[in-house]
């Protein structure tokens, strides 16, 4: 199976297996998974990787969501550099434009491992440039992906056992044969009894079985926003824009030493509450920091790169221009608090 024909999921797995294991483990060890707001199908395999330290086994056997999440962390920074090098062509580059951008960064700015991470991530997530990324991997031996034997089909707590259809048919045939043997034994053992006259009495009316009840469905409800007394005096959490993601002029929380005269910037933000005097928001940024968490809805809402929501709550003036990008689902909203 080559980089040109492998499925997107296989490329994700082979990419992680190709990268330097020590560099991968350095990223994995930096993750704070205990108590993190991460799905168990992602957190459990990553915690196991922290203990067992076998990157190849993780790439071959972990759920694809866990593999994809880890590769996203590994590809995040180098992807930003490739996007910057592509400039206005970053959305749908040609093969020549992508090849030139990668060549300009490779060696001086990006290592081969970082280039592999970016190309594998783009293929696995089926970016518009994925065919060009496959071609780059296939044409350069230094970027070739490792060959691995994928073991995710084996039974585990997080990946159900896959049974071959022929084995399934054999089991079904054995069950039918056993059922027929039991019926024959029961008929042979049953003694013949003379028919008895039925007593002349009125039989009770049949009782209808109880109506089946629908299985309980776990409903996710939006977590209520807790405002400080000062915020509650100014803003209404039931404002029509609460829960929406918008682009607006977000003030800086500190003076920029390079351009001190600029006090704000147009950027995406999550609206927490609002009132006539403005909006209360949390800004969305392209760079991670200790006070920011991954904004999982960045691709769904049309942002062009991995983004992060800052913990700081910022007031936006009522006269600021606001453009709505979309609304967070209840799960996406709850993950921010």
User: 3-class DSSP state for residue 220?
Assistant: coil
User: What pLDDT shows up at residue 134?
Assistant: 93
Contact yes or no for 129/93 (Cβ under 8 A): yes
Distance in angstroms (rounded) separating the CA atoms of residues 36 and 46 = 12
- 8 A C-beta contact, residue 108 and residue 101: no
Phi, psi dihedrals of residue 5, rounded to the nearest 5°? -110, -10
Residue 280, beta-bridge partner list: 273, 315
pLDDT digits (tens, 9 = 90+) for 143-167: 999 999 888 654 333 444 444 565 5
**In this predicted structure, which of 16-20, 175-179, 231-235, 280-284 has the lowest mean pLDDT?**
175-179
Q: Where do the domains of the chain lie, and which CATH numbers do they carry? A: 8-143 (no CATH), 229-334 (2.30.30.110)
- What are 252-307's pLDDT values in tens digits? 876 666 667 777 889 999 999 999 889 999 999 989 988 899 998 999 998 988 99
pTM value is 0.48
pLDDT tens, residue by residue, 186-203: 887 766 555 565 555 566
């Amino acid at each position: 199976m080559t980089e040109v024909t492998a499925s997107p999921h296989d490329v994700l797995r082979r990419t992680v297996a190709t990268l330097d294991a020590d560099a991968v483990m350095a990223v994995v060890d930096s993750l704070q998974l205990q108590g993190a707001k991460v799905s168990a199908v992602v957190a459990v395999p990553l915690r196991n990787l922290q203990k067992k330290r076998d990157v190849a086994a993780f790439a071959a056997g972990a759920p694809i969501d866990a593999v994809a999440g880890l590769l996203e962390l590994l590809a995040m920074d180098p992807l930003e550099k490739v996007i910057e090098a592509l400039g206005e062509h970053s959305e749908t580059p040609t093969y020549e434009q992508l090849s030139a951008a990668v060549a300009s960064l490779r060696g001086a700015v990006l290592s081969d491992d970082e280039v592999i991470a970016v190309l594998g991530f783009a293929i696995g997530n089926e970016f518009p440039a994925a065919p060009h990324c496959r071609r780059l991997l296939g044409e350069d031996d230094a970027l070739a992906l490792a060959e691995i034997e994928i073991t995710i089909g084996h039974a585990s707590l997080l990946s159900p056992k896959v049974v071959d259809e022929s084995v399934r048919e054999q089991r079904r045939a054995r069950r039918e044969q056993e059922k027929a043997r039991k019926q024959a034994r029961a008929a042979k053992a049953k003694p013949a009894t003379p028919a008895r006259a039925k007593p002349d009495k009125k039989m009770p009316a049949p009782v209808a079985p109880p109506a089946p009840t629908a299985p309980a469905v776990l409903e996710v409800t939006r977590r209520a926003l807790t405002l400080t007394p000062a915020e509650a005096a100014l803003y209404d959490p039931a404002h029509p824009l609460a829960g929406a993601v918008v682009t607006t002029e977000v003030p800086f929380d500190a003076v920029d030493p390079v351009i001190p005269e600029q006090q704000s910037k147009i950027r995406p933000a999550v609206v927490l509450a609002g009132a006539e005097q403005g909006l209360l928001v949390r800004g969305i940024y392209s760079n991670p920091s200790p006070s920011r968490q991954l904004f999982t809805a960045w691709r769904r809402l049309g942002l062009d790169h991995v983004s992060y929501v800052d913990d700081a709550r910022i007031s936006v003036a009522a006269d600021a221009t606001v453009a709505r990008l979309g609304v967070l689902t209840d799960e996406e909203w709850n993950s921010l608090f």
